Amino acid sequence: MDDPRIIIALDYNNSEQALVLAAQLDPKLCRLKVGKQLFTIAGPKLIEKLMQSGFEIFLDLKFHDIPNTVAGACKSAASLGVWMVNVHALGGRKMLLAARQALPIGTTKLIAVTLLTSIGPDDLHEIGLGPTPEQIVRRLALLAHDCGLDGVVCSPLETAYLRTQVDSNFHLVTPGIRPIDASIDDQQRIATPRQAIENGATYLVIGRPVTQATDPLRTLQQLNKEITSVS
């Protein structure tokens, strides 16, 4: 598989567990996501080890700062050789453009988080934003598109609408994926892998359904089978 659509979230607090899981997976079938918890403890060394095993890495650090600082952080991430990084679209146009300039198209992919899914209407009102989370998500996704980013992170339930607003090369990276027979865990707005791809998702971020499976590789193979039948 040249461009695996599944990104496995390595939500661990130590590199040992991350490496044990990675050793059970196949870089032809997935990429790996390293977030703040794991990166803060394990750092660039872990990224290097995972890449030596053949995996491409989505470094999920959600940069949000003044344009100059975010541009520098993006360059540092790119120097690790990671496949994808992300920033907060709430950082605004100047910050997004600075990040894009730091990562020219065709190098490390640059995507934006729109609004965190943990933010509800009341939280939004409290910080003086509105009117609704959906409208902010749409506005920020279009801003990221306009600034030339490679894509956004969005819930599987937003993908169908966003796909009608952006060109087909714009990546919609979608967490909240649960196979039909899997536990929902703490996710709420979920879709099956097949539904997410049908709605226009480019990449699916999947954590516990694979990391906690008794046979992670077999689960990954089944997930890929399900989505290649639609894509």
Residues that bind ligand C5P (CB under 6 A): 9, 11, 35, 117, 153, 175-176, 185, 187, 205-208
Nearer to ligand C5P, 99 or 206 (CB): 206
Catalytic residue among 36, 49, 62, 109: 62
Helix axes 93-102, 133-146, angle to 10 degrees: 40
Paired residues of 153 in beta bridges: 113, 173
- CA–CA separation, 131 and 124 (whole Å): 8
Q: Active-site residue 49, yes or no?
A: no
- ∠ at Cα 127 (124, 132), nearest 5°? 20
Taking the least distance from each CB to ligand C5P, the nearer of 94 and 139 is 139
What's the min distance (Å) between Cβ of 14 and ligand C5P? 16
Q: Which is nearer to ligand C5P, 42 or 206 (CB)?
A: 206
CB of 51 to ligand C5P, least distance (A): 19
Helix (H, G, I), strand (E, B) or coil at 11: coil
- For 172, residues 6+ apart whose C-beta sits below 8 A from its C-beta are 151, 152, 154, 159, 162, 163, 166, 200, 201, 202, 203
**Which residue, 60 or 67, is less far from ligand C5P as judged by CB?**
60
**Please, what is the minimum distance in Å from the beta carbon of residue 104 to ligand C5P?**
26
CB 8, min distance to ligand C5P, A: 9
